[in-house]
């Protein structure tokens, strides 16, 4: 199970060449790679062809899992989130994705128009451009917690979503496939996933950001190079060279 940005994809240029030979090796061994991302379903569907990946996946930071026709929701539907936010409009100054056009989202995020459209195609979260004081932001975040929601600071936006995390989906795969799970990620929002996995791997990042305890493996190389480095070691140690597999990444 793998995070995308900064893990399977380079943080800056979104390249992923280093992981391709390892993905081939996993494919030959019939070990599925499940992506667990804060991206939307539309964003991953647009990307996954490049990885030749048809597996189940988890989107919007642990909010929902898609496996064929099946949808498992761990988060809160966006309509419910918007309803809560609507009631706070008089109290705090902010603008959400749902209130603005694609052009404005392009301005906020630096994404292309097509990317912004896929990013806006959300079902379990609402990114906000915060226009009020830091003090008010803190108060707002506490209020979200009281209302059964949570907030995450990411890039230029404050994300509001249901109380869930990337670790929630692991049980689904354990029950369904009876597998051991290797999980890889680079940020605190990946920690629950890494700690719930049989083998958790922290992928190094450019800013030297560190996290996690001693029970987690750590890559030397950054981003997809680190992914390839650690996965190669794990597969070598497990003696995986093709044929039927018993693990899941």
Chain contacts with Mg ion (rule: CB under 5 A):
3, 5-6, 186-187
Pick the closer one to Mg ion by CB: 6 or 245.
Answer: 6
Question: Residue 185 CB, nearest distance to Mg ion (Å)?
Answer: 6
Pick the closer one to Mg ion by CB: 60 or 85.
Answer: 60
Sheet with strand 247-248: strands edge to edge: 217-222, 199-204, 180-185, 247-248
d(CA 178, CA 247): 9
Tell the residue number behind the tokens 């940020």, with chain if given: 187
Question: Residue 91 CB, nearest distance to Mg ion (Å)?
Answer: 32
Question: Residue 224 CB, nearest distance to Mg ion (Å)?
Answer: 11
CB 124, CB 76: distance < 8 Å: yes
In 3D, which of 126, 170, 158, 159 has the Cα closest to residue 36?
170
Pick the closer one to Mg ion by CB: 229 or 245.
Answer: 229
Pick the closer one to Mg ion by CB: 10 or 186.
Answer: 186
Question: Residue 93 CB, nearest distance to Mg ion (Å)?
Answer: 29
Pick the closer one to Mg ion by CB: 5 or 55.
Answer: 5
Query: Looking at beta carbons, which residue is closest to Mg ion?
Result: 6
Tell me the residue ranges of DSSP E strands in 53-204. 57-59, 64-67, 70-73, 94-96, 125-130, 149-154, 157-162, 180-185, 199-204
- For 31-71, the DSSP string reads ----EE-SS-HHHHHHHHHHHT--S-EEETTTTEEEETTEE
Question: Residue 139 CB, nearest distance to Mg ion (Å)?
Answer: 28
Q: How many CB atoms lie within 10 A of CB 114?
A: 10
Question: Residue 243 CB, nearest distance to Mg ion (Å)?
Answer: 31
Pick the closer one to Mg ion by CB: 19 or 85.
Answer: 19
């Amino acid at each position: 199970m793998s995070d995308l940005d900064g893990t399977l994809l380079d943080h800056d240029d979104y390249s992923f060449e280093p992981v391709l030979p390892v993905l081939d090796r996993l494919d030959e061994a019939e070990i599925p790679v499940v992506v667990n991302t804060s991206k939307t379903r539309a964003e991953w569907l647009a990307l996954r062809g490049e990885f030749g990946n048809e597996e189940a996946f988890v989107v919007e930071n642990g909010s929902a899992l898609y496996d064929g026709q099946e949808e498992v929701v761990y988060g809160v539907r966006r309509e419910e989130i918007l309803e809560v936010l609507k009631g706070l409009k008089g109290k705090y100054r902010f603008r959400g994705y749902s209130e603005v056009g694609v052009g404005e989202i392009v301005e906020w995020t630096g994404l292309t128009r097509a990317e912004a459209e896929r990013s806006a195609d959300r079902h379990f979260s609402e990114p906000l451009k915060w226009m009020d004081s830091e003090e008010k932001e803190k108060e707002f975040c506490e209020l979200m917690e009281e209302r059964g929601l949570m907030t995450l600071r990411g890039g230029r936006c404050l994300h509001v979503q249901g109380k869930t995390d990337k670790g929630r989906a692991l049980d689904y795969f354990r029950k369904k496939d009876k597998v051991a799970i290797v999980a890889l990620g680079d940020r605190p929002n990946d920690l629950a996933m890494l700690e719930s996995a049989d083998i958790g791997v922290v992928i190094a990042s450019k800013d030297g950001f560190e996290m996690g305890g001693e029970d987690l493996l750590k890559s030397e190389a950054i981003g997809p190079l680190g992914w390839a480095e650690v996965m190669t070691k794990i597969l070598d140690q497990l003696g995986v060279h093709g044929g039927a597999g018993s693990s899941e990444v």
